[in-house]
Structure 1
């Protein structure tokens, strides 16, 4: 029998539109040879790569089980400028809600916002730097 203290109740946020992170949307890192790294992960760990050279991990939203969340995993060729201006070896993509409200909050807090919100068929994106110079990608799925 499980201990009731081990269960974590998650508040119902289905009507909550507070600007915040709701999950991890992607893990991206530099590789000396991205193609060989992708192949190694596919052969040894069974990752199934998509047309973008990444692997998609799908999960259900606990508050809305019909909704599917996706986390992307992808190595980038070392030297690729996608992580710029960060000099770090990785970039994290956070899934967010109310990206416009979050950007307003970040501006008020003096956070370095690198670009404007861009909208694509699969969501809205904006990039920021944290206090350590890590580039963070914020993504609100559409």
Structure 2
């Protein structure tokens, strides 16, 4: 099952970058490359995703809070898989003209949004 199929671009800090990268690789299927990030394949170009050590200071002086939105092929199947893997999946989901949405909490308490676009998009 494909898990994540694309995003815009994400760069963020983590208290334990190696553990957080491993969590995203195992549970969301993001292949983390040697440089600590990933290039995800959208329809055109590529998307950059990267986790950096919190103490590297790259975002100083700001400390943004965020939620990442990941495109997925089959939201219901992915949420079921994440639950069976012991992930903290929120019970609430949303189904609207914009698609289906669900959420999982990563090991550092970040809320991650999973989005299955409407058919044909």
Length-normalised TM-score, structure 1: 0.43
Rg comparison, structure with higher value: 1
Instruction: Give me the TM-score of the superposition, normalised by structure 2.
Output: 0.50
